[in-house]
Structure 1
């Protein structure tokens, strides 16, 4: 049986493990945390990622998630700029990140071994395989160790890596009673969005332009339209983290017998809500190519498919973040006007 090591047990890493298992590989997952699990709040799962999970045999994603109700973009005073229905956009399903992680790891079989509390300190490869920490040996290594990937750093020491976006994010889960479809509200260098999860609670996120490393409370949103203040006040815990993406151009996703997936390959800002979904799609593509040919050919095909696709997402998400976080009053008014006009034109076109 072919052998693989997966470094990192986040969404991308555990999906890669399931994908390799399905291809007949023996997989060892290395996770630096003391126990397997996922932290964070909500996550949007787009239909393309749902399809990959279904192909990999992951059960219950649709049942465990809630289709987003019609939503859209508002101003801080509550006035609508444009609705998702007007734009005709495809909406994701929403699920708690930890719940999605549990659904994926539930598919681990005897072919998957997990080692927690394991830091990767060295990776060496030759023509026949890869050695991790001088002792673990496999034919393939999948690096899913996040935006500050140690594996990527070893492969490409000259690469600049993470780039600060200029804004920090707040996230929370609120147990409040709302009859609201959710969506996003764009303000003066700030953004707030929310959506309902399966258990009736609401996942929310807010972003604020500020220097990297600054710590603060999301008090700016207290004066925004209902139900935003209630969502923040109704959260037991609020997470804050600076938002980074990876410097462009992205490095090759494959070097020898080492392949990058997820944030290790293409970390992007959360503005498109595609980060974790792209990691899932990476795993699906890797499995598909591994089933179709020899290892070098399969990995070359994986890189040729996924690097251009995710490069576009990194660029688009970064561009959307810049538009959403704009502070200039004239540019904000122009932005809102263009979005509103675009929605009306698309709605008119749809009726015709």
Structure 2
């Protein structure tokens, strides 16, 4: 039989992983991306061992997971600090590798996009083409994606169009969608300061800052703060100086190293409630389109990668007569409970970072300091059952 046809909406990490996985299984795949080009934008992204093992299923002998591991930026220790500089807990990449079968790798998002795009056959990616409408299909009826250039019929449509997914709104018009968590994030990649530092995450009153070196020598900086939604400033460095300028080294130096217009600011959203399903007919939602979550566990991109690889596994080879309706039902059955649990765990950590009252922050600090002495790798336990997961093809 002729190879089956897939259309992927969105060329982010999840969409590109899905496209690569389906192409490797023989599907004729088209990726629609509304942006006019895939520019090297964004900042850092954490890929935990669960995502790395998924990427191991791609790339043949040159396992994509190994190529990601080669981008590992640091191999030593990191920890949790207070704004004055005091360390209250530490862990290490060695401890993460022992616990989860590998370290957590932090890389530039653009490098991962380039890696995944390189797996796609020529002509797979179409930029500047937004998906304007969808019809789910099902049974003997194909799904349909409407574009300005006409309609595309497909045996399978993968909606990877992000937090504000237009496909999700069409499929589930009464679902509340992601909600603002009460915190906003800032991210940037900068040149390192002259004085060295250890990778760290620092928690203050309703504020958080992280500094992690990247493989190219630059530093990935990320911050969150409990502020009203929808805000912006002509120069976001001013907001960072106001919120974090008095914190310990290297925070002020990193803010000063940021160039004009290089700071990304986004309100943080999380799934207000789980979707009733991750699919309708022959359309399946993956990544933030299905289960947006706070970034505090570093699992947003990882869960999108999991979604993509599990989907390709269940969909079967492109030249097989897999029952796709049953395959997508199985995808929802496998992915909805897992991603809902990860969303809820991420939200619990986010609420801890957003504490602002002096007594609550003092209690949080005392708890973490005591735990850091009694269980040095306590921070890693938040990823138990998550980072140690393996995709079906690897089991």
Q: Normalising by the residue count of structure 1, what TM-score does the alignment of the two structures yield?
A: 0.94
Query: Pick from 336, 340, 345: which aligns with 2:365?
Result: 336
Question: Does the Cα contact within 8 Å between 2:80 and 2:87 map onto a contact in 1?
Answer: yes
Of 58-67 and 41-50, the range deviating more from structure 2: 58-67
Measured after TM superposition, the shift of residue 329 of structure 1 is 0.6
Name the residue aligned to 1:168: 184
Deviations 1:34-67 (A, max 9, x none): 0124531011111111111121115321223324
Measured after TM superposition, the shift of residue 8 of structure 1 is 0.4
Stretches of structure 1 lacking an aligned partner (at least 5 in a row): none
Name the residue aligned to 1:26: 28
Alignment pair present for 1:79 and 2:86: yes
1:117-266 matches, cutoff 5 A: 117-126=128-137, 127=139, 128-133=141-146, 135-177=151-193, 178-216=195-233, 217-219=239-241, 220-236=243-259, 237-266=262-291
Equivalent position SS for 1:341: helix
Alignment pair present for 1:281 and 2:323: no
Question: Does the Cα contact within 8 Å between 2:91 and 2:376 map onto a contact in 1?
Answer: no
Equivalent position SS for 1:205: strand
Question: Does the Cα contact within 8 Å between 2:274 and 2:291 map onto a contact in 1?
Answer: no
Aligned-pair Cα RMSD in Å: 2.0
Stretches of structure 2 lacking an aligned partner (at least 5 in a row): 98-102, 234-238, 379-395
Alignment pair present for 1:16 and 2:39: no
Deviations 1:314-352 (A, max 9, x none): 111111011011001111011111111112112499xxx
Query: Pick from 291, 294, 306: which aligns with 2:323?
Result: 294
CA distance in 1, matches of 2:212, 2:323: 43
Equivalent position SS for 1:71: strand
1:306-317 matches, cutoff 5 A: 306-317=335-346
Question: Does the Cα contact within 8 Å between 1:251 and 1:265 map onto a contact in 2?
Answer: no
Measured after TM superposition, the shift of residue 154 of structure 1 is 0.5
Equivalent position SS for 2:85: coil
Alignment pair present for 1:320 and 2:349: yes
Equivalent position SS for 1:218: helix
Aligned length: 348
Query: Pick from 94, 98, 108: which aligns with 2:120?
Result: 108
Flag the 1:67–1:291 CA change in 2: closer, same or farther, 3 A: farther
Flag the 1:222–1:150 CA change in 2: closer, same or farther, 3 A: same
Question: Does the Cα contact within 8 Å between 1:68 and 1:92 map onto a contact in 2?
Answer: no
> Which aligned segments of 4 or more residues in structure 1 are displaced greater than 6 angstroms?
none
Flag the 1:154–1:125 CA change in 2: closer, same or farther, 3 A: same
Of 209-218 and 59-68, the range deviating more from structure 2: 59-68
Question: Does the Cα contact within 8 Å between 1:86 and 1:346 map onto a contact in 2?
Answer: no
CA distance in 1, matches of 2:162, 2:6: 18
CA distance in 1, matches of 2:289, 2:128: 19
Flag the 1:163–1:38 CA change in 2: closer, same or farther, 3 A: farther
Q: Normalising by the residue count of structure 2, what TM-score does the alignment of the two structures yield?
A: 0.84
Name the residue aligned to 1:269: 294
Measured after TM superposition, the shift of residue 295 of structure 1 is 1.1
Question: Does the Cα contact within 8 Å between 2:136 and 2:280 map onto a contact in 1?
Answer: no
